[in-house]
Structure 1
Amino acid sequence: MAFDTPNGTRGAHQPARNRFERWANRRFAERIRRKGDRSGTKLALVTIGRRSGLERVTPVRWFPANGGGARYIVASANGAARNPAWYYNIAEHPDRVRIEFAGRRIEVTAEQLHGEERAAAWKQITAAAHGFSKYEQVTDREIPVIKLTPRTDGGAARSVG
């Protein structure tokens, strides 16, 4: 499915807009890559920058999807008016995405959910993490839900050395 969610006109503060927040995100992502997180609900999302072509790493919360090790992630940006930068990176290169956590590296294919499939996933996500429903109230854009499915073309999980 297409990555076609437009930006909104109102919303909360866009995260990682200042130097300190970017620094903290980098540190947190590196910790997740090496050790994971205590709750086991965060991963380091690795994308390719749509303009720079450079690898970008972002810590995100994930939710289990139906079977096959698939996961949902949410492009909430804390309810900001704009989609997060990683959303556009995935849109540009949906086949060049991977996730890393606790020393594991998994190549994935990204797909944005729409319609009934998105509604079902959103219901599951907001039941598990009530804060996401608050983001929906702050912004006027539909918050994208992305399904990350492990690739079967040699994209199996590998340990990071």
Structure 2
Amino acid sequence: MTTGARPPRVPPRWFVRLAWRAHRTLYRLSGGRFLWTPTSRRRWGALRLTVTGRTSGQDRSVILGYLEDGPDLVALAMNGWGEGHPSWWLNLEAHPDAVVRLAGGSPRSVRARRATGEERDRLWRLWSALDPQLDAYAATRSTPTPVVVLTPR
């Protein structure tokens, strides 16, 4: 009998969806003060991303974690570690121009793209340094997790 590392427990979908609603509510109630920027203590931040819906054409907003990579912002399209890609990423694939709002800042126009090759590996390692279980969480999905680069326009 071989013993291996136990896969991480992924929260149930109802909990993930509840957390997403709580984030949006906190953002709305705090007037945007719920967002934060990376610091030496917390090396990642939270931003509000507004994208154009791929079928509706309507603005859609989501709160995401991000890392800074020079002028670029980097997010993971992980869908709460559930199957499939999150809607915000599918929308960005169809309409890569978007707007981000960082803590205390004004809206910034960005263009999204998927990191590939060595760039993806490097950015994945940056995220892995923050969460040693990142690879184990990613392994719970049947598709690779896109690493999304938001470049200023």
Could you say whether these structures have the same fold, taking a TM-score greater than 0.5 normalized by the shorter chain as the test?
Answer: yes
Residue 32 of structure 1 contacts residue 100 of structure 1 at CA under 8 Å; is this kept in 2?
no
Q: Which residue of 2 aligns with 1:47?
A: 51
1:130 positional shift = 3.2
Q: Which residue is equivalent to 2:132?
A: 130
Identity %: 25
The answer as to 2:126 corresponding to 1:100 is: no
Give ranges in structure 1 of 5+ residues lacking alignment: 1-10, 152-161
Q: Is the 8 A contact 2:37 2:103 kept in 1?
A: no
> Separation in 2 of the partners of 1:132 and 1:33?
31
SS at structure 2 position matched to 1:51: coil
| Alpha-carbon distance between aligned partners in 2 of 1:45 and 1:15, rounded to the nearest angstrom | 22
CA contact (8 A) 1:112 1:144 kept: yes
The residue aligned with 2:114 is 112
Aligned structure 1 segments of 4 or more residues deviating by more than 4 angstroms: 11-18
Residue of structure 1 in register with 2:6 after alignment: none
| TM value normalised by structure 1 | 0.73
Q: Distance in 2 between matches of 1:53 and 1:64?
A: 29
- Counterpart of 1:5 in structure 2 is none
Q: 1:56 to 1:128 in 2, by over 3 A?
A: same
How many residue pairs match? The answer is 137
**Conserved in 2, the CA contact under 8 Å of 1:50 and 1:93?**
yes
Aligned to 2:35: 37
TM-score (norm 2): 0.76
